[in-house]
Amino acid sequence: MNRRAYRHVAAIALLLCTTDARAHEGHGGSHASPGAPKEAVEDPESCPPPAQIAQRLQSRYDTTKNFRADFRQATTLAAMGQGDEAFGTVVFMKPGRMRWEFQTPQKQSIVADGTTLWIYQPDDHQVLKAPFNAAFVSTTPVSFLAGVGRIKDDFDVAADPRGCNAQRMYLKLVSKKGQDVGGLTLAVTRPSYDIVEAAVTDPVGNVTTLSFSNIQRNADIKDDEFHFVVPEGVDVVAAPTTATQQQ
């Protein structure tokens, strides 16, 4: 699988089921899902232990069925000391169904139907195809969002050097498997424990940061949004399984 394309998959999937629309809509209305845990009132100057932050993130994820949003992606390449931006839309539904459409700087579609992952690059007249479970193995930073892992089982959690402030708490996740899969840093809002920023660092030091707007959580999303039809005249290339797992 194309390394940069996979980085897009990992970074975008990161927030799909952990961010609540309240963090972006600018109002205080309550839209909690049935059965969502009630959060205790916190001291706004406190910094909860990393394990506690991770547990509440998992609880938020467990009560989210689907997610739709606009996204902005910023990528910094370590070797070049410079970066770029991309914009588009993303839709996610458990288990393992995803669709994101890059609009700028160039069009690209990434679709997963729970079984197969498709990456369509119109400019190249090519579609990369891979088994979904091979692309999202439990050792990757986003596995708990893809439905093949859980934070406490697959990751060690640690405080980020930025610590906490009155608005945000920062958390670092590191794979317990010790494999060269990169790292994940999250910024979490108070008091809702919603993720508002995520940075994925790959093994060579490239950093992809995601932010979202116009978020809809637990929306009315149809299954056919995750059905991909290969366009006429486009080549289909099967991604090697071993390479996919290592990206």
* DSSP secondary structure of 10-79: HHHHTTTTT--THHHHSS----PPTTPPPPPP--TT----HHHHHHHHHHHHHT--EEEEEEEEEEEETT
Q: Which of 11, 20, 4 is CA-nearest to residue 219?
A: 20
What pLDDT score was predicted for residue 182?
66
- What parts of the chain have a pLDDT lower than 50? 1-3, 5-8, 10-12, 14-39, 138-139, 141-142, 145-148, 242-247
DSSP state of 239: P
Q: Decide: residue 70, CB within 10 A, 0-12 exposed, 13-18 middle, 19+ buried.
A: middle
Query: Residues with Cβ < 8 Å from 10, sequence gap 6 or more?
Result: 140, 141, 142, 182, 200, 208
Domain extents in the chain:
3-25+46-241
CA distances from 175 to 21, 139, 172, 182, 224 (A): 28, 6, 10, 8, 33
pLDDT score, position 136: 59
Write the CB contacts of 160 (distance below 8 Å, at least 6 apart in sequence).
170, 171, 172, 185
Q: pTM here?
A: 0.72
- The correct CATH number of 3-25+46-241 out of 3.40.50.1820, 3.40.50.200, 3.30.450.90, 2.50.20.10 is 2.50.20.10
User: What does the pLDDT read at residue 40?
Assistant: 52
